[in-house]
Structure 1
Amino acid sequence: MRHLLLILSLFFSSFSFASQEIYTGLFNSDAVSGYDTVSFFEGKPVKGSSKYQTEYMDADWLFSSQENLDKFKADPTKYAPQYGGHCAWAIAANDGLAPGDPTYWKIVDGKLYLNYDKSVWNKWNKDIPGFIEQGDINWAKRAN
C-alpha cells in the first residue's frame, strides 16, 4: 500500500506539491511531521511541541525545547531538511516529490535527508553521494 501511495504522490507531485517548498502533508502545516529538526543533529529525533514553535518558509516548525528553537532560529538552513523534507531518493531518482518520513533519515556532511520508507531508504543508502549529486541538480531546477 505504501508503494502505491509513493507512485501516486510521484504522479501528482507536479500538480499538488509544485508550489510547496517545505513538505507538510495535506492536513497541517507542520514541517518534518512535527519532529524537532534540531534533535536529528543530536542523534535522537523527537517530536516537537507547539509550546516551542516558529514559522519558516510558510511552514510551522515544532521543537522540544526553547534551546532547540533558538538554535533553529539562529540558522534555519543548517537544520532544515534538504529538498524541503521531501523524499531524497524520489527527488534524485525520479525528479519527483514524495513525502519524507522522519523515521527514515540520515545526516550527510552536516545536512539532514529524509526518505519515504524503509525500502526507499535502503535504495538511497546504496549510492548516497550519487543520489545527493542528482538530487541537488533536480531540486535546483525546481527553484527556477
Structure 2
Amino acid sequence: MYYVNQNQINKRLEFLNWLVETIPESLENKPESDKAILFLAQERILHLALESVTDIGSYIIDGFLMRDASSYEDIIEILHGEKVFPSHLLETLLGLVKMRKKLVQEYFHLDRNEIYPLLHELPTTLSEFSNSISNYLKHELNT
C-alpha cells in the first residue's frame, strides 16, 4: 500500500493553479518605470512555479516509491518515465527547472530575455501538468 500525501499535493496544485492565473498579468505592457518590478515579479513567478512542480513531483516519487531523484531535472524525468504527465510537456518542464540555479544563485546576471518566452508557455504547461497529476492520482489510487 502506498502512502501518498494527497493533502500536500493538493495544496501545491491549488497554489500552482493560482499562479497560472497571475502569469498573464505579469506579461502586460507596463510603463518604463515599472519594468524592474515586472522583471522581479516574473522571476518570482518562475521560481514559485518550479518549486511547486518539483515539490509535487517529490511527493509523487516518495508516495509511489519510485526511484530516488538526484536533481531537480531528475524529478521531472522520473515523472515522465512513469507516465505521470504527457511527453509534450517534458521540454518546457525541464526548461523551467533548469532555471532554478539562475534564479536563486546567478540572479545578478540573469538574461531576462530567457524568462519571457518561458512565461508564455507556462500557463498551458502548468495547467496540463496539474490536470495530469490529478488524473494520475485518481487512476493509481482508484479514487
Give yes or no for TM over 0.5. Answer: no
Larger helix proportion of the pair: 2
Quick one: higher RCO (CA 8 Å, sep 6+), 1 or 2? 2
Give the structure-1-normalised TM-score.
Answer: 0.24
* Bigger share in strand: 1
Relative to the length of structure 2, the TM-score reads 0.25
Larger Rg: 2
